[in-house]
Structure 1
């Protein structure tokens, strides 16, 4: 049986929906695309049903799609004489451990903006326009009572930081 024919369960559907929400929050897909893709994710029965939902999106993809392709490590000939450590190249870091460059945006500024102007301004600052618009609409529709969401979001940004629209961690 090919991997695309393997049946999936609720956990896989929910992981796919969560990752689609992350892509939506980063502005990579429109609200209509998000709604369609999440509906398709919850209706999926096999891995083959989920793969097209992420085909045009960058990582992260669901972990159950399989590990990223392994690239062969280059080998280097070590001379027979002399200390081998002198000639051996440094071991490459695994992809998951490579340092991620920081964003030029600050988590402190984003958090303070979310708290002082509690209608998504901090999310606009981080480049997450979709999430900022969603918070703005919730505040407008609920006549200001929805400002609790951006307020809590601002506290979380101050405490834990977050990511900008490109997926880079915000500066401390």
Structure 2
């Protein structure tokens, strides 16, 4: 008897990836601040893949990698990562962004007003970071500073959902 994959327990890495992807949806304007905070709290408390999967039911891609279907369950018309596309198959992978994760991260760290997020096309998130920094008389600059470190360490996506290039 096989165990249902959705009932498998998740660890810190899965919860952290889910939170990061939720942040991308928040920065794209798909989630309000209250929804984002609620979902990140639920992600931190999640015990199973099903708990995390529910957080993305009403959101388009991207989703955390561990929630994506396995290559065996994909239909034959979808390009499987790690394999060469063959005739009759269409690629479902977006091309990489023309924006650099290094430049975005450095802009966030050196000019902590959301400048790096303006560069990546996340205008809503950039404006939020700018306002928080200004309204807290600079104390809020910790948010874009940490965001810059995350961009440098893990990359991210541009405003069109494409992965930032190295």
The interval holding the TM-score normalised by the smaller chain is: 0.5 to 0.7
Question: Are 1:136 and 2:136 matched, yes or no?
Answer: no
Matches within 5 A, 1:16-165: 16-65=18-67, 66-67=69-70, 69-72=73-76, 91-92=86-87, 95=91, 98=93, 100=95, 119-120=113-114, 123-124=117-118, 126-144=120-138, 163-165=157-159
Query: Cα offset for 1:130?
Result: 3.1
Query: Cα offset for 1:134?
Result: 2.7
Q: TM-score of the superposition, structure 2-length normalised?
A: 0.63
Query: Cα offset for 1:41?
Result: 0.7
Instruction: Indicate how the Cα distance of structure 1 residues 60 and 138 shifts in structure 2: closer, same or farther if over 3 A, else same.
Output: same
Query: Cα offset for 1:45?
Result: 0.9
- The structure number with the bigger radius of gyration is 1
Q: Show CA shifts across 1:95-142 (max 9, x none).
A: 47x562757x999xx89x979986335634654133213321332134
Query: Cα offset for 1:36?
Result: 0.5
CA distance in structure 2 between the partners assigned to 1:17 and 1:164 by the alignment? 17
CA contact (8 A) 1:27 1:129 kept: no
CA RMSD, Structure 1 to Structure 2 (Å): 4.2
Q: TM-score of the superposition, structure 1-length normalised?
A: 0.61
Query: Cα offset for 1:148?
Result: 7.8
Query: How many residues are treated as equivalent by the alignment?
Result: 153
CA distance in structure 2 between the partners assigned to 1:13 and 1:115 by the alignment? 25
CA contact (8 A) 1:102 1:168 kept: yes
